[in-house]
Amino acid sequence: MQRLIDLTSRVARFAFWPAFAFALIMAVLPKPPSLPIDSLGDKFAHMLAFFTLSLLAGVGWPRASLLRAALWLSVVGAGIEVVQLIPFLHRDSDWRDWVADSAAILVAMVPVTGFRWFAVSRAESGKA
């Protein structure tokens, strides 16, 4: 079981960086391509992106502080909104997008905490 937990963490760590790059690129492209989730609204896209990033970060780096990861991801969300203020990007900056990002980060900490609890309990039962 520990091998599966370790593999899950490695896969999450590996997937985090392309997901992070995709989120940043989509956030700053002047005219991003349409996606199937566009019909669900802008806030849904923000929440999906930051939920995914939070999940991947929390599982990928299981010994890292959840608070620190949440804060850094929230800062990234705020930074995206600041960058979207640049006029030639023709993007709409909205503080509510940052709130949606931050809410998704907090919600993602629930399954991350569950994964970490499970991983620790399995590691401790293996040591006994």
* 23 vs 45: CA distance, rounded Å: 10
pLDDT band, residue 127 (cuts 50/70/90): low
Whole-structure pTM value: 0.91
Number of Cβ within a 10 Å radius of residue 41: 11
What residue segments make up the domains of the chain, in order of their start?
2-27+42-127
Instruction: Report percent pLDDT > 90 for the chain.
Output: 83
Number of Cβ within a 10 Å radius of residue 28: 14
pLDDT 10s digits, 4-36 = 999 999 999 999 999 999 999 999 999 889 889
* 9 vs 112: CA distance, rounded Å: 11
